[in-house]
Amino acid sequence: MQPLTTEVVRAQGIVTERRAAALSAQRRADRQDPPGSDCRSGRIPWPPQASPEWSDWRWQLRHAVTRPSQLAELGLISRDEAEELETVVRTYPMRITPYYLSLIDWGDPSDPLRRQALPSRDELRIDARLQEDPLEEELHSPLAALVHRYPDRVLILTNTFCPVLCRHCTRKRLMRGKPFYADRQTLSAAISYVARNPRVHDVLLSGGNPLCLSARRLDWLLASLSAIPHVEVIRIGSREPAVLPQRLFDPNLREVLARHRRKLWVNTQFNHPRELTDAAAEAIETLLLLGIPVNNQTVLLRGVNDDVEVLYQLFRGLLRLKVRPYYLLHADATQGTAHFRTSVFRGMELVESLRGQLSGLGIPLYIVDSPKLGKLPIVPTYARPCDDGYVELHKPSRGTIRYPDGAP
Ligand code: SF4
């Protein structure tokens, strides 16, 4: 079994340096391909919404901010802060779309959106209990760009490019250096692996961000996977609706998604109600109108959403958009993200406080993803057995009752 180490990803993964240059040239020649790995940061007009190209996702990527000094030039942070953050960016790069920049309240140093996108010196603090690869994906990688942790599901890592590099990312280790895309040969090997394993019914495409693939590459990938009879579900994990909703306005992409909608699901990641903008709502509606169900996986993040009212507004807002709040994920034990992590019991308390305030449809499962045990739902014990034909039911906010039990 060949582990998916960062070196393997770079060397045979995904793209060698020479191959990257060739791909880059090919992309420039083909307007359908994303700028991805050769994303250039131009000076952003500010306020950026004034730009006539604001709704063009390519413009958004071309103008994504990748250096703290650019934020200082725009007057959003001080020069001293920019200098301090340069040291962080040398280890963990940054990228923020003008769209996401425009959602941040720059007057508030603790703004929850700023916290998710702007580097912090805390990322360089080593915590001996945390891991570079907290889910042991590299151990469960039989070939480059493919992770097989559960019998019926596989994960294909299509690229390491994201429009906004989330500071809390589980795959921070893969986000170092230049972004890369899985080449056709690597993806073909992953598709053949799925075809050879009839127990695999569910394929998750993630990265990175699969919706940043060119429409043509995505079309080929989805067509190849859809043609495998035992593949029943293809899920695309994408934070695009939250950080670059303009991508979903691209007619080429919409055509591709429509063509493969039969097996397709999308998992998004909205972490704060302020990410639920009109543009995000339009992106979600695009997917729903194509007949693609959308589920959301929120990451529980200290200083961002570890608050009952924030989670209440977020989950209610998602329901309004017809997005199911599916998981609340405890932040993974990833090196460089200690400052985002809450206690597991705090997470459980938060979810329990929502019960009774929101319908069951709006309350996600609270999940801890661990290397040895996989995904574990963390729920309090509500029922205790009695010996006399009753059970004792307990709800922290409402008390305890005895309830007649059925036959064993
Ligand atoms: S979108 Fe996902 S993969 Fe990309 S940086 Fe954010 S958390 Fe990581």
Give Cα 50 to chain centroid, integer Å. Answer: 28
Closest atom of ligand 1 to 171 CA is 8
CATH code, 320? 3.20.20.70
What average pLDDT does the segment 309-334 reach? 98
Judgement on whether residues 253 and 298 belong to the same structural domain of the protein: yes
Identify whether the C-beta of residue 225 lies closer than 8 Å to the C-beta of residue 188: no
Q: How many residues does the chain have?
A: 408
Find the 158 Cα to ligand 1 centroid distance in Å: 13
Q: How far apart are the first and last CA of the chain?
A: 46
Q: What DSSP string runs through 191-239?
A: HHHHHH-TT--EEEEESS-GGGS-HHHHHHHHHHHHTSTT--EEEEE--
Same-domain pairing of 204 and 326: yes
CB-based contacts of 360, cutoff 8 Å, min separation 6: none
Q: Do 258 and 222 sit in the same domain of this protein?
A: yes
Give CA separation, 264 vs 31, 219, 383, in Å: 25, 12, 38
Tell me: do 385 and 289 sit in the same domain.
no
Is-catalytic flag, 390?
no
288 and 383 part of one domain: no
Tokens of 122: 């805390």
* Residue whose C-alpha is closest to residue 145's, from 334, 332, 12, 335: 12
Q: How far apart are CA 298 and CA 272, in angstroms?
A: 8
pLDDT tens-digit profile of 356-390? Answer: 899 999 999 999 998 888 999 998 888 888 988 88
Cα 275 to ligand 1 centre (Å) = 15
Q: Provide the phi-psi class of 94: left if phi over 0, else alpha when psi is between -120 and 50, else beta.
A: beta
Q: Ligand 1 test: best mutation among 100, 165, 166, 267, most atoms within 8 Å of CB?
A: 166
Say if residue 45's pLDDT is above 50.
Answer: yes
Q: Confirm if 55 and 81 have CB atoms less than 8 A apart.
A: no
Measured distance CA(240)–CA(246) in Å, rounded = 8
> What is the C-alpha to C-alpha distance for residues 361 and 242, in angstroms, rounded to an integer?
21
Question: Quick one: 87 and 17 in the same domain?
Answer: yes
Please check whether residues 118 and 156 belong to one and the same domain: yes
Please report the atom of ligand 1 found closest to the CA of residue 243: 1
Active site residue 263: no
The reply to whether 153 belongs to the active site is yes
Q: What is the pLDDT of residue 47?
A: 61
From 62, 149, 261, 316, active-site residue: 149
Q: Indicate if 39 belongs to the active site.
A: no
Three-class DSSP category at 187: helix
Between these two residues, 389 and 188, which has the higher pLDDT value?
Answer: 188
Do 314 and 180 reside in the same domain of the chain? yes
Instruction: Report the distance separating Cα 405 and Cα 408, nearest Å.
Output: 8
Ligand 1 center to 269 CA (angstroms): 9
Q: Which of 95, 114, 162, 366 is catalytic?
A: 162
Catalytic, out of 99, 332, 341, 366: 332
Environment class of 155 (CB within 10 Å of its CB; exposed 0-12, middle 13-18, buried 19+): buried
385 and 253 together in one domain: no
Q: Which residue has the higher pLDDT, 117 or 5?
A: 117
- Give residue 24's pLDDT: 46
Residue with CA at minimum distance from ligand 1 atom 3? 208
The number of domains in the chain is 2
pLDDT in tens, 57-88: 999 999 999 999 999 999 999 999 999 999 99
Q: Ligand 1 centroid vs 184 CA: distance in angstroms?
A: 22
- 386 is an active site residue: no
Q: Are residues 346 and 394 in the same domain?
A: no
249 & 395 share domain: no
Residues 343, 387 within the same domain: no
Residues 34 and 58: beta-carbon distance below 8 Å: yes
Cα 165 to middle of ligand 1, angstroms: 6
- Where do we find the tokens 């650019």? 70
Query: Ligand 1: residues whose CB is within 6 Å?
Result: 162, 165-166, 169, 171, 207-209, 239
| Percentage above 70 pLDDT, the chain | 88
Query: Catalytic annotation on 149?
Result: yes
pLDDT of 9 > 80? The answer is no
Containing domain of residue 397, as a range?
Answer: 378-408
Sequence-distant (6+) residues with CB within 8 A of 345 are none
